[in-house]
Structure 1
Amino acid sequence: MAEISHRKARTIIAKTLAKGREMELKPLSVVVLDSGGHVKAFEREDGAAPGRFDIARAKAYGAIMLGMGGQAQMARAEAQAYFMNAVNGVYDGKVIPVPGGILVQDKRGNTIGAVGVTGDTSDNDAEAGMAGIEAAGLAGQP
Protein backbone atom coordinates (compact mmCIF):
# COMPACT_ATOMS: atom_id res chain seq x y z
CA MET A 1 0.00 0.00 0.00
CA ALA A 2 1.31 3.45 -0.92
CA GLU A 3 1.97 5.75 2.02
CA ILE A 4 2.79 9.41 2.35
CA SER A 5 6.44 9.93 3.23
CA HIS A 6 7.64 11.97 6.18
CA ARG A 7 9.46 14.29 3.76
CA LYS A 8 6.25 14.94 1.76
CA ALA A 9 4.30 15.47 5.00
CA ARG A 10 6.82 18.10 6.17
CA THR A 11 6.69 19.81 2.76
CA ILE A 12 2.89 19.93 2.87
CA ILE A 13 2.96 21.53 6.30
CA ALA A 14 5.66 24.08 5.44
CA LYS A 15 3.96 25.14 2.20
CA THR A 16 0.49 25.24 3.79
CA LEU A 17 1.76 27.55 6.52
CA ALA A 18 3.56 29.71 3.94
CA LYS A 19 0.35 30.01 1.90
CA GLY A 20 -1.54 30.97 5.05
CA ARG A 21 0.94 33.77 5.74
CA GLU A 22 0.74 34.88 2.09
CA MET A 23 -3.07 35.02 2.38
CA GLU A 24 -2.74 36.83 5.75
CA LEU A 25 -4.77 34.16 7.53
CA LYS A 26 -5.05 33.71 11.26
CA PRO A 27 -2.41 31.33 12.73
CA LEU A 28 -2.89 27.83 11.32
CA SER A 29 -2.45 24.31 12.58
CA VAL A 30 -1.78 21.52 10.07
CA VAL A 31 -1.77 17.76 10.51
CA VAL A 32 -0.88 15.07 7.99
CA LEU A 33 -2.28 11.57 8.50
CA ASP A 34 -1.16 8.40 6.75
CA SER A 35 -3.64 6.17 4.94
CA GLY A 36 -4.53 4.41 8.19
CA GLY A 37 -5.47 7.65 9.95
CA HIS A 38 -2.30 7.87 12.06
CA VAL A 39 -0.46 11.15 12.58
CA LYS A 40 2.56 11.49 10.33
CA ALA A 41 3.36 15.14 11.16
CA PHE A 42 1.80 18.16 12.88
CA GLU A 43 2.63 21.80 13.39
CA ARG A 44 0.82 24.65 15.15
CA GLU A 45 1.84 28.24 14.43
CA ASP A 46 2.54 30.69 17.22
CA GLY A 47 -0.73 32.25 18.31
CA ALA A 48 -2.91 29.31 17.24
CA ALA A 49 -5.22 28.02 19.95
CA PRO A 50 -3.93 24.86 21.66
CA GLY A 51 -7.10 22.91 20.83
CA ARG A 52 -6.46 23.23 17.11
CA PHE A 53 -4.66 19.87 16.94
CA ASP A 54 -7.90 18.01 17.65
CA ILE A 55 -9.81 20.05 15.07
CA ALA A 56 -7.18 19.57 12.37
CA ARG A 57 -6.99 15.86 13.12
CA ALA A 58 -10.79 15.47 13.00
CA LYS A 59 -10.97 17.21 9.62
CA ALA A 60 -8.26 14.93 8.19
CA TYR A 61 -9.59 11.81 9.94
CA GLY A 62 -13.00 12.20 8.33
CA ALA A 63 -11.38 12.56 4.93
CA ILE A 64 -9.28 9.41 5.23
CA MET A 65 -11.91 7.25 6.93
CA LEU A 66 -14.73 8.22 4.57
CA GLY A 67 -12.63 8.56 1.42
CA MET A 68 -13.94 12.05 0.73
CA GLY A 69 -12.72 15.56 1.40
CA GLY A 70 -14.31 18.00 3.80
CA GLN A 71 -16.35 19.76 1.12
CA ALA A 72 -18.04 16.49 0.14
CA GLN A 73 -18.51 15.59 3.81
CA MET A 74 -20.19 18.93 4.50
CA ALA A 75 -22.53 18.46 1.54
CA ARG A 76 -23.38 14.99 2.82
CA ALA A 77 -23.97 16.34 6.35
CA GLU A 78 -26.31 19.02 4.98
CA ALA A 79 -28.24 16.49 2.89
CA GLN A 80 -28.21 13.63 5.39
CA ALA A 81 -27.38 14.84 8.87
CA TYR A 82 -28.39 11.46 10.29
CA PHE A 83 -25.60 9.79 8.29
CA MET A 84 -22.85 12.08 9.60
CA ASN A 85 -24.24 11.73 13.13
CA ALA A 86 -24.00 7.95 12.75
CA VAL A 87 -20.46 8.25 11.35
CA ASN A 88 -19.43 10.32 14.34
CA GLY A 89 -20.89 7.62 16.58
CA VAL A 90 -18.86 4.97 14.81
CA TYR A 91 -15.68 7.06 15.03
CA ASP A 92 -16.19 8.27 18.63
CA GLY A 93 -16.89 11.87 17.58
CA LYS A 94 -13.56 12.19 15.74
CA VAL A 95 -14.98 13.61 12.47
CA ILE A 96 -15.59 17.28 11.66
CA PRO A 97 -17.27 17.37 8.22
CA VAL A 98 -16.18 20.78 6.91
CA PRO A 99 -13.64 22.11 4.38
CA GLY A 100 -10.05 21.89 5.54
CA GLY A 101 -10.01 18.09 5.59
CA ILE A 102 -8.31 17.06 2.35
CA LEU A 103 -7.78 13.58 0.94
CA VAL A 104 -4.24 13.22 -0.48
CA GLN A 105 -3.45 11.13 -3.54
CA ASP A 106 -0.25 10.24 -5.36
CA LYS A 107 0.28 10.68 -9.11
CA ARG A 108 -1.42 7.33 -9.77
CA GLY A 109 -4.56 8.34 -7.89
CA ASN A 110 -3.84 6.16 -4.86
CA THR A 111 -5.01 7.59 -1.54
CA ILE A 112 -1.89 7.96 0.61
CA GLY A 113 -3.14 10.12 3.45
CA ALA A 114 -5.08 13.20 4.46
CA VAL A 115 -4.38 16.75 5.58
CA GLY A 116 -6.32 18.73 8.15
CA VAL A 117 -5.96 22.51 8.32
CA THR A 118 -7.61 24.79 10.87
CA GLY A 119 -7.30 28.32 12.19
CA ASP A 120 -9.11 30.56 9.71
CA THR A 121 -12.38 30.04 7.83
CA SER A 122 -12.85 26.49 6.62
CA ASP A 123 -12.66 27.57 2.97
CA ASN A 124 -9.40 29.46 3.59
CA ASP A 125 -8.04 26.46 5.50
CA ALA A 126 -8.78 24.24 2.49
CA GLU A 127 -7.18 26.68 0.04
CA ALA A 128 -3.97 26.83 2.06
CA GLY A 129 -3.92 23.04 2.44
CA MET A 130 -4.37 22.48 -1.28
CA ALA A 131 -1.41 24.78 -1.96
CA GLY A 132 0.72 22.69 0.39
CA ILE A 133 -0.36 19.41 -1.19
CA GLU A 134 0.29 20.68 -4.72
CA ALA A 135 3.71 22.06 -3.69
CA ALA A 136 4.59 18.52 -2.57
CA GLY A 137 3.77 17.20 -6.04
CA LEU A 138 0.60 15.45 -4.89
CA ALA A 139 -3.12 15.80 -5.60
CA GLY A 140 -5.88 16.61 -3.15
CA GLN A 141 -9.63 16.27 -2.88
CA PRO A 142 -10.75 19.18 -0.71
Structure 2
Amino acid sequence: MTEITLRKARTIIRKALEAGRADELKPLSIVVLDSGGHVKAFEREDGAAPGRFAIAHGKAHGAIMLGMAGTAQMKRAEEQGYFMNAMNGLYGGQLVPVPGGVLVRDRKGAIVGAVGVTGDTSGNDAKAATAGIEAAGLTAEI
Protein backbone atom coordinates (compact mmCIF):
# COMPACT_ATOMS: atom_id res chain seq x y z
CA MET A 1 0.00 0.00 0.00
CA THR A 2 1.21 3.48 -0.85
CA GLU A 3 1.63 5.94 1.98
CA ILE A 4 1.46 9.72 2.06
CA THR A 5 5.03 11.00 1.98
CA LEU A 6 6.11 13.95 4.10
CA ARG A 7 6.56 15.91 0.88
CA LYS A 8 2.96 15.23 -0.18
CA ALA A 9 1.70 16.02 3.33
CA ARG A 10 3.45 19.38 3.20
CA THR A 11 2.00 20.04 -0.27
CA ILE A 12 -1.50 19.23 1.00
CA ILE A 13 -1.11 21.68 3.86
CA ARG A 14 0.46 24.44 1.75
CA LYS A 15 -2.19 24.21 -0.97
CA ALA A 16 -5.07 23.94 1.52
CA LEU A 17 -3.83 27.10 3.24
CA GLU A 18 -3.52 28.86 -0.11
CA ALA A 19 -7.11 27.87 -0.95
CA GLY A 20 -8.25 29.14 2.42
CA ARG A 21 -6.56 32.50 1.86
CA ALA A 22 -8.01 32.77 -1.67
CA ASP A 23 -11.51 32.17 -0.26
CA GLU A 24 -10.86 34.54 2.67
CA LEU A 25 -11.55 31.82 5.25
CA LYS A 26 -10.86 32.26 8.94
CA PRO A 27 -7.39 31.02 10.08
CA LEU A 28 -7.11 27.29 9.46
CA SER A 29 -5.43 24.40 11.22
CA ILE A 30 -4.60 21.34 9.12
CA VAL A 31 -3.36 17.89 10.04
CA VAL A 32 -2.37 15.07 7.68
CA LEU A 33 -2.47 11.49 8.98
CA ASP A 34 -1.02 8.39 7.34
CA SER A 35 -3.08 5.23 6.83
CA GLY A 36 -2.30 4.09 10.38
CA GLY A 37 -3.62 7.30 11.91
CA HIS A 38 -0.18 8.74 12.73
CA VAL A 39 0.46 12.46 12.31
CA LYS A 40 2.55 13.16 9.22
CA ALA A 41 2.33 16.96 9.37
CA PHE A 42 0.39 19.76 11.07
CA GLU A 43 0.19 23.54 10.79
CA ARG A 44 -1.90 26.12 12.61
CA GLU A 45 -2.19 29.52 10.96
CA ASP A 46 -1.49 32.66 12.92
CA GLY A 47 -4.69 33.72 14.64
CA ALA A 48 -6.16 30.21 14.84
CA ALA A 49 -7.35 29.14 18.28
CA PRO A 50 -4.84 26.95 20.15
CA GLY A 51 -7.33 24.09 20.57
CA ARG A 52 -7.69 23.61 16.84
CA PHE A 53 -5.16 20.75 16.67
CA ALA A 54 -7.53 18.50 18.64
CA ILE A 55 -10.44 19.36 16.33
CA ALA A 56 -8.44 18.84 13.11
CA HIS A 57 -7.01 15.62 14.49
CA GLY A 58 -10.46 14.38 15.55
CA LYS A 59 -11.86 14.99 12.09
CA ALA A 60 -9.01 13.15 10.34
CA HIS A 61 -8.75 10.44 13.00
CA GLY A 62 -12.42 9.52 12.65
CA ALA A 63 -12.09 9.35 8.88
CA ILE A 64 -9.09 7.03 8.94
CA MET A 65 -10.21 4.83 11.83
CA LEU A 66 -13.70 4.29 10.45
CA GLY A 67 -12.79 4.42 6.75
CA MET A 68 -15.58 6.95 6.48
CA ALA A 69 -15.17 10.61 5.56
CA GLY A 70 -16.61 13.35 7.77
CA THR A 71 -19.73 13.90 5.68
CA ALA A 72 -20.65 10.21 5.93
CA GLN A 73 -19.84 10.20 9.65
CA MET A 74 -22.15 13.16 10.25
CA LYS A 75 -24.97 11.46 8.33
CA ARG A 76 -24.43 8.29 10.36
CA ALA A 77 -24.42 10.30 13.60
CA GLU A 78 -27.71 11.94 12.63
CA GLU A 79 -29.31 8.60 11.74
CA GLN A 80 -27.69 6.39 14.39
CA GLY A 81 -26.30 8.56 17.15
CA TYR A 82 -25.80 5.53 19.38
CA PHE A 83 -23.35 4.05 16.84
CA MET A 84 -21.19 7.18 16.62
CA ASN A 85 -21.32 7.57 20.42
CA ALA A 86 -20.09 3.99 20.76
CA MET A 87 -17.32 4.58 18.21
CA ASN A 88 -16.26 7.76 19.97
CA GLY A 89 -16.09 5.77 23.21
CA LEU A 90 -13.93 3.11 21.58
CA TYR A 91 -11.55 5.76 20.28
CA GLY A 92 -11.25 7.68 23.53
CA GLY A 93 -13.50 10.57 22.52
CA GLN A 94 -11.18 11.47 19.64
CA LEU A 95 -13.75 11.47 16.81
CA VAL A 96 -15.24 14.67 15.41
CA PRO A 97 -17.86 13.40 12.94
CA VAL A 98 -18.35 16.42 10.68
CA PRO A 99 -17.15 17.57 7.24
CA GLY A 100 -13.53 18.60 7.18
CA GLY A 101 -12.33 15.07 7.93
CA VAL A 102 -11.36 13.95 4.45
CA LEU A 103 -10.15 10.53 3.34
CA VAL A 104 -7.19 10.50 0.97
CA ARG A 105 -7.03 7.89 -1.77
CA ASP A 106 -4.25 7.05 -4.20
CA ARG A 107 -4.69 6.54 -7.96
CA LYS A 108 -5.79 2.95 -7.39
CA GLY A 109 -8.47 4.01 -4.88
CA ALA A 110 -6.68 2.73 -1.77
CA ILE A 111 -6.95 4.83 1.39
CA VAL A 112 -3.50 6.26 2.11
CA GLY A 113 -4.42 8.71 4.86
CA ALA A 114 -6.75 11.46 5.98
CA VAL A 115 -6.73 15.22 6.31
CA GLY A 116 -8.46 17.21 9.02
CA VAL A 117 -9.11 20.91 8.53
CA THR A 118 -10.76 23.25 11.02
CA GLY A 119 -11.17 26.97 11.46
CA ASP A 120 -14.08 27.97 9.24
CA THR A 121 -17.41 26.29 8.51
CA SER A 122 -17.20 22.52 8.10
CA GLY A 123 -18.07 22.83 4.40
CA ASN A 124 -15.32 25.39 3.82
CA ASP A 125 -12.88 23.25 5.81
CA ALA A 126 -13.64 20.28 3.52
CA LYS A 127 -13.25 22.47 0.43
CA ALA A 128 -9.79 23.64 1.55
CA ALA A 129 -8.75 20.05 2.34
CA THR A 130 -9.90 18.90 -1.09
CA ALA A 131 -7.87 21.62 -2.80
CA GLY A 132 -4.74 20.52 -0.96
CA ILE A 133 -5.28 16.82 -1.60
CA GLU A 134 -5.93 17.29 -5.30
CA ALA A 135 -2.88 19.56 -5.64
CA ALA A 136 -0.80 16.66 -4.27
CA GLY A 137 -2.10 14.40 -7.04
CA LEU A 138 -4.36 12.39 -4.75
CA THR A 139 -8.13 11.95 -4.49
CA ALA A 140 -10.30 13.43 -1.76
CA GLU A 141 -13.36 11.73 -0.33
CA ILE A 142 -15.34 14.27 1.67
TM-score band by shorter chain is over 0.9
Mapped to 2, the partners of 1:123 and 1:31 lie a distance apart of 17
Q: Which residue of 2 aligns with 1:124?
A: 124
Q: Which residues of structure 2 form unaligned runs of 5+?
A: none
Quote the residue 2:40 is aligned against: 40
- Which aligned pairs between 1:29-108 and structure 2 lie closer than 5 A? 29-108=29-108
Superposition RMSD on alpha carbons, in Å? 0.5
In structure 1, the residue matched to 2:112 is: 112
Structure-1 residue corresponding to 2:136 = 136
Amino acid at match of 2:129: G
Q: Read off the aligned partner of 1:16 and give its amino acid letter.
A: A
SS at match of 2:3: coil
Query: Any stretches of 5+ residues in structure 1 without a counterpart?
Result: none
Q: C-alpha distance in 2, partners of 1:9/1:112?
A: 11
After superposing on structure 2, the runs of 4+ consecutive aligned residues of structure 1 that deviate more than 2 Å are none
Partners of 1:67 and 1:2 in 2: CA distance: 16
Matches of 1:75 and 1:88, distance apart in 2:
15
Structure 2 residue matching 1:75: 3-state secondary structure: helix
Measure, in 2, the Cα distance between the counterparts of 1:133 and 1:4: 10
The letter of the residue matching 1:26 is K
Number of residue pairs matched by the alignment: 142
Q: How far apart are 1:124 and its partner, in Å?
A: 0.4
User: Sequence identity of aligned pairs in percent?
Assistant: 72
Q: Which letter maps to 2:115?
A: V
- 1:10 is aligned to 10
Deviations 1:29-88 (A, max 9, x none): 000000000000000000000100000000000000010110000000000000000000
Distance in 1 separating the partners of 2:5 and 2:29: 19
Q: What's the offset of the Cα at 1:2?
A: 1.8
What displacement does 1:137 show?
Answer: 0.5
- Please report how far the alpha carbon of residue 134 of structure 1 lies from its aligned counterpart in structure 2 after TM superposition: 0.5
